[in-house]
Amino acid sequence: MNLPTSWRDWRDRYRQMRRDAAYLLLAWPLNVVAFIIVVTLIALGAGTVIIWIGIPILVLGLEICTYFADMERRAVAAVDSSEYVPGHYLRTDPGDGTVRRLLTTLRDPQRWLDLGWVFVGLFVTTATWALSLTWLVTMFVGWLGMAADIIVDATVPRSQTLAGLLGLKPALLWQVLLDLALWVLFTLTAPFVLRALTRARQAFSRALLCQRSEVARLETSRAAVQRAEADTRRQLERDIHDGPQQRLVRLGMDLARAKRQAVKDPQAAEGIISGAMDQTQQTLDELRRLSRGIAPPVLTDRGLSAALAEVAARSTVPVTVHADLPPLPDHISQAAYFVASEALTNLNKHSGAHSAELGAVIETEQLRLWIADDGVGGASLAKGHGLAGLVERLEGVDGRLTVTSPAGGPTRVEAVIPCAS
């Protein structure tokens, strides 16, 4: 636990305490309402399932569980301003009939986890609600105890007070000091206690309500990485086959021809060798260009900011760069570089822009990178467009891509990548 070291730290702690208090105090009445409704429906549905009418009642109970569970997911995200994680539920096809839809709901593991959260969550919520309420009441009205000590001093024998039982004299003064110490203690510890209770409840809710979503997202990210790597490999193979490989084949043929001409016509052989040297240089240049799309040396040696400046310098459209970033994990830097490189390539080919801007900043533990231009617009993430492949690339690092490009421009491509991914 990090203790506050300045008044700003204390101020931030108490501001967070307000959100924690709202989360903890509102949770109990909502959970009680959910418990009463759901228990009634589940019990009624289980009792009448033998005559089939219980199945839709059970489904209704599970649907209500889902509604309250989604409220909890949003509250968990809101209290920390973190990302909202939706539930991972089985989906039905548009053509499915009523019976299939009902059965899909009944066999959905996440809906039964929601039900478990409603049942077990009542006890967890009651405990966290009672503790948080105790701390808040003592914090806000504890000072009244000092006034009460003075008021009742004339009616209550001093020997019956805590100070009197401890043998402290004068009893009234010591009783007031004890109440003051208790009030100060609860007031100073309230932000930490409520934060701990909030995290405990969040951990419980995430375990039941968000775990399957996190697993599904990791599986999707892994599949996206594999697809992106396969696409990159196939593209590289095509580029090598269509470019350097063809040049090298021709280079071999020219050198063989020069060897045959060396004795008969040395001057012609010299011309062939000179052309072969030009082809060698062109092949090297093309291989360097291809290697930049994999992992440019500047990205490893000098970091993402320098790599972004370099890729902007190669653009045929003038690009203003705003990037002063700290060292980042390799997979994040590579994903961001790939987005910038592909977006600028697309910009140079299709935008018709006269100027562009490339920027990158770290905000709330996320890397936000954007490319904006004053071109004709019309950029899209639809399949077949130049930016479509970036979506899967970013999914591999839990990132997301947005494109704003109305007809006539301007265009803005923005990627957000969690730095902790």
Per residue in 231-244, pLDDT (tens digit) is 666 766 776 766 67
The domain tally of the chain equals: 3
**φ, ψ at 98 (rounded to 5°):** -65, -45
Same domain for 168 and 264? no
Average pLDDT of the chain? Answer: 79
Does the reported pTM lie above 0.95? no
- Do 272 and 374 sit in the same domain of this protein? no
Q: What is the mean pLDDT of residues 258-267?
A: 77
CB contact at 8 A, 90 and 59? no
Tell me the CA distances in angstroms from 89 to 32, 80, 113, 223, one per residue in order: 24, 24, 11, 19
Q: Quick one: 63 and 185 in the same domain?
A: yes
How long is the chain?
A: 421
pLDDT score recorded for residue 324: 85
Indicate whether 341 and 362 sit together in one domain: yes
Note whether 276 and 376 are same-domain residues.
Answer: no
| Closest by Cα among 389, 369, 383, 315 to 347 | 315
CATH of the domain at 310: 3.30.565.10
For 388, the domain range is: 297-418
Q: Among 292, 308, 323, where does a domain finish?
A: 292
Mark out the alpha helices in 107-210 (DSSP H runs).
109-141, 144-152, 162-165, 171-209
Would you give the DSSP letter of residue 160?
Answer: G
Q: How is residue 4 annotated by DSSP? A: P
Task: Dig out the tokens for 238 from the structure.
Answer: 């095509």
Average pLDDT score over residue span 68-96: 84
Q: Looking at residue 92, what DSSP letter applies? A: -
One domain for residues 31 and 149 = yes
Residue 401 amino acid letter: L
Average pLDDT over residues 368-375: 89
Q: 172-181 contacts: CB < 8 A, separation 24 or more?
A: 175/149, 176/146, 176/149, 176/150, 179/142, 179/145, 179/146, 179/149, 180/143, 180/146
Between 123 and 297, residue with greater pLDDT: 123
Bridge-based pairing of strands 366-373 and 356-363 is antiparallel
Average pLDDT over residues 119-139: 90
Position 347 confidence tier, pLDDT thresholds 50, 70, 90: confident
Question: Average pLDDT of 264-279?
Answer: 77
Q: Is the pLDDT of residue 263 over 90?
A: no
